[in-house]
């Protein structure tokens, strides 16, 4: 089972579009790890980026108290106001707060009502289809000028592995859950690949606008918005920009009513301003602590902690634990270029989790030097007075030296010959406690 957090952070859109044939049934319970994005922006932050790039969004303010929301509503001087809870998950419109309030998106003409509603939003958990069961605490609300919507469409641009580049996806049936549209009426989903070297052609943008049902002068306007969204997509190194609803007003304007942008983590070095806006407040504290040391932590719900390098090895490790009848508690990905101090921190984080009853180290030394890992492990075991069984499988660069360090440490460390052996020993150590 993936943690709710991991499940929520992933998008299923790319997978959905790939329309892959169903995989053969698995013989054992697989651990599903949905790749997570490390940078998360709230709707108001995404909309600020969009506005800065000429994309049409509503005027808005952000508030973190009911009183600020009330003041913002007054300052807007709008005929109608839309109040939106800011959490990273979608489906807010149909969500429920633990204050009893229904709906994370509300329309009203009265600023006083904005204040009253904000009071039932801020500080309370909002549960939607995409959040864990208990919901996510709302810390901020967006107070925006409401516009009438005559038609809601769906528009997204994403980097699609299957197409080796950007793809536009649109549907005239927007506002609702796009997965449902894709399942019930797949012919209402339009997909158009973009050649990243040639860029988005005007004809393509116009065609997509037409597919979305924008007619007459609205077609050109929608195509212009689509082009600006594509420019933004490239400029900020996005992996996905999703606008649902991409709507039309009775006054004849094309407006982005909602916004979700995902970013390519590898571009952090050239997108410093955007990464500085990262909203980590919804992360587990342990994830943020891990990130401080350049470690990636993902919580799961079993009892065997996995200490690995690389996401692929992490998944293989989790799978093989499941295959042997165990359950991973979490995994911590060291990455390459690891220092001894990181190994120590990693152990500290793993053992801080009370669910952990055994630790399985599975490191394949390529760039990573196994001796550094071994030194980090022995230091951590001594200083943290490790109380749970530790099974270690090291392979690759400098592995003989690593084994010498572990053997001579005198610490109760179980060595494993290979991954299968390591998983068996870790599962046994939990069962025979
Ligand atoms: P989500 O539920 O988290 O996807 O939040 P959205 O921002 O998409 O809002 C949910 C729904 O509220 C939209 O699909 C619209 O139908 C409606 N909505 C949002 N903003 C406005 C607005 O300014 N005017 C009107 N009339 N409806 C809005
Ligand atoms: Mn939406």
List Cβ neighbours of 140 (8 Å cut-off, separation of 6 or more): 42, 44, 62, 63, 64, 86, 122
Q: What is the pLDDT of residue 340?
A: 81
Residue 401 designated active-site: no
Spatial distance between the Cα atoms of 275 and 389, rounded to a whole number of angstroms: 38
Of the residues 43, 152, 192, 242, only one is catalytic, namely: 242
Contact 318, 331 (CB under 8 A): yes
Show the tokens assigned to 314: 């992490």
Max mean pLDDT among 28-32, 187-191, 350-354 falls in 187-191
For 104-162, what is each residue's pLDDT tens digit?
A: 999 999 999 999 999 999 999 999 998 889 999 999 999 999 999 999 999 999 999 88
Residue 268 has pLDDT above 80, yes or no: yes
Range with lowest mean pLDDT among 67-76, 100-109, 372-381: 372-381
For 161-187, what is each residue's pLDDT tens digit?
A: 888 899 999 999 999 888 899 999 999
Residue 35 has pLDDT above 70, yes or no: no
Residue 347 has pLDDT above 90, yes or no: no
Q: Is the CB of 224 under 6 A from ligand 1?
A: no
Q: Is the CB of 149 under 6 A from ligand 1?
A: yes
E strand residue ranges, 194-342:
238-248, 254-256, 260-263, 296-299, 304-308, 328-333
What is the 65 CA–ligand 2 centroid distance (Å)?
23
- pLDDT band of residue 290 (cuts 50, 70, 90) is confident
pTM: 0.72
Query: Residue 328 — φ and ψ, nearest 5°?
Result: -70, 140
Q: With b meaning 16 or more CB within 10 Å and e meaning fewer, what string describes 262-287?
A: bbeeeebeebeebbeebbeebbeebb
Show the tokens assigned to 13: 């859109």
Question: Which residues make up each annotated binding site for substrate?
Answer: 309, 366-368
Mean pLDDT to the nearest integer, 412-420: 91
Spatial distance between the Cα atoms of 111 and 113, rounded to a whole number of angstroms: 5
Of the residues 43, 152, 154, 357, only one is catalytic, namely: 154
Q: Which residues are 391's β-sheet partners?
A: 360, 414
Residue 27 has pLDDT above 90, yes or no: no
Residue 14 has pLDDT above 70, yes or no: no
Mean pLDDT to the nearest integer, 24-29: 38
Nearest CA to ligand 1 atom 16: 175
Q: What is the pLDDT of residue 169?
A: 96
What is the 408 CA–ligand 1 centroid distance (Å)?
64
E strand residue ranges, 54-198:
60-63, 81-86, 96-97, 105-108, 125-127, 136-137, 140-145, 151-160, 165-171, 190-193
Q: Is the CB of 80 under 6 A from ligand 1?
A: no
Contact 88, 40 (CB under 8 A): yes
- pLDDT band of residue 92 (cuts 50, 70, 90) is very high
- pLDDT band of residue 385 (cuts 50, 70, 90) is confident
Report the atom number in ligand 1 closest to the C-alpha of 146: 23
348 to 165, 295, 356, 390, 430: CA distances (angstroms): 40, 12, 12, 13, 20
Mutate to test the pocket of ligand 1, among 82, 105, 143 (most ligand atoms within 8 A of CB): 105
Contact 46, 259 (CB under 8 A): yes
Query: Residue 327 — φ and ψ, nearest 5°?
Result: -140, 125
Q: What is the pLDDT of residue 433?
A: 64
Residue 21 has pLDDT above 50, yes or no: no
Contact 213, 190 (CB under 8 A): no
Residue 371 has pLDDT above 60, yes or no: yes
Residue 242 designated active-site: yes
152 alpha carbon, closest ligand: 1
What is the 286 CA–ligand 2 centroid distance (Å)?
29
Residue 217 has pLDDT above 90, yes or no: yes
Mean pLDDT to the nearest integer, 233-250: 96
What is the 185 CA–ligand 1 centroid distance (Å)?
22
Q: What is the pLDDT of residue 23?
A: 38
Spatial distance between the Cα atoms of 265 and 346, rounded to a whole number of angstroms: 21
Range with lowest mean pLDDT among 93-97, 331-335, 371-375: 331-335
Closest to 246 (Cα-Cα) out of 234, 236, 259: 259
């Amino acid at each position: 089972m993936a943690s709710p957090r991991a499940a929520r952070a992933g998008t299923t859109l790319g997978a959905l579009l790939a329309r892959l044939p169903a995989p053969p049934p698995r013989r054992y319970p697989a651990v599903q790890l949905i790749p997570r994005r490390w940078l998360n922006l709230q709707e108001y932050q995404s909309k600020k980026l969009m506005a800065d790039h000429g994309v049409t969004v509503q005027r808005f303010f952000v508030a973190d108290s009911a009183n600020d929301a009330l003041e913002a509503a007054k300052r807007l001087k709008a005929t109608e106001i839309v109040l939106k809870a800011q959490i990273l998950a979608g489906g807010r419109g149909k969500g429920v707060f633990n204050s009893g309030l229904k709906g994370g998106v509300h329309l009203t003409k009265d600023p006083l009502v904005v204040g009253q509603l904000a009071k039932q939003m801020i500080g309370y958990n909002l549960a939607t289809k995409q959040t864990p069961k208990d919901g996510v605490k709302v810390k901020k609300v967006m107070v925006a000028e409401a516009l009438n919507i005559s038609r809601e469409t769906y528009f997204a641009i994403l980097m699609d592995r299957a197409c080796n580049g950007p793809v536009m996806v649109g549907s005239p049936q927007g506002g609702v859950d796009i997965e449902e549209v894709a399942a019930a009426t797949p012919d209402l989903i339009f997909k158009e690949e973009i050649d990243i070297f040639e860029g988005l052609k005007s004809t393509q943008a116009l065609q997509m606008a037409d597919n979305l049902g924008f007619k007459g002068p609205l077609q050109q306007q929608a195509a212009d918005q689509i082009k600006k969204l594509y420019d933004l997509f490239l400029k900020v190194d996005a992996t996905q920009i999703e606008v649902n609803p991409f709507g039309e007003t009775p006054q004849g304007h094309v407006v982005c009513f909602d916004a979700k942008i995902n970013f390519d983590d590898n571009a952090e070095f050239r997108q410093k301003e955007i990464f500085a806006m990262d909203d980590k407040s919804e992360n587990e504290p342990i994830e943020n602590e891990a990130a401080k040391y350049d470690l990636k932590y993902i919580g799961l719900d079993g009892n065997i902690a996995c200490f690995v390098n690389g996401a692929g090895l992490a998944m293989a490790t989790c799978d093989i634990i499941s295959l042997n009848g165990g359950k991973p508690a979490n995994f911590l990905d060291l990455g390459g270029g690891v220092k001894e101090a990181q190994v120590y921190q990693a152990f500290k984080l793993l053992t801080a989790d009370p669910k952990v009853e055994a630790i399985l180290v599975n490191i394949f030394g390529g760039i990573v030097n196994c001796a550094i890992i071994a030194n980090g492990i022995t230091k951590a075991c001594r200083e943290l007075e490790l109380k749970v069984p530790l099974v270690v499988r090291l392979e690759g660069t400098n592995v003989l030296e690593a084994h010498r360090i572990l053997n001579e440490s005198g610490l109760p460390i179980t060595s494993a010959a290979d991954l299968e052996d390591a998983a068996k020993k870790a599962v046994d150590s939990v069962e025979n406690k």
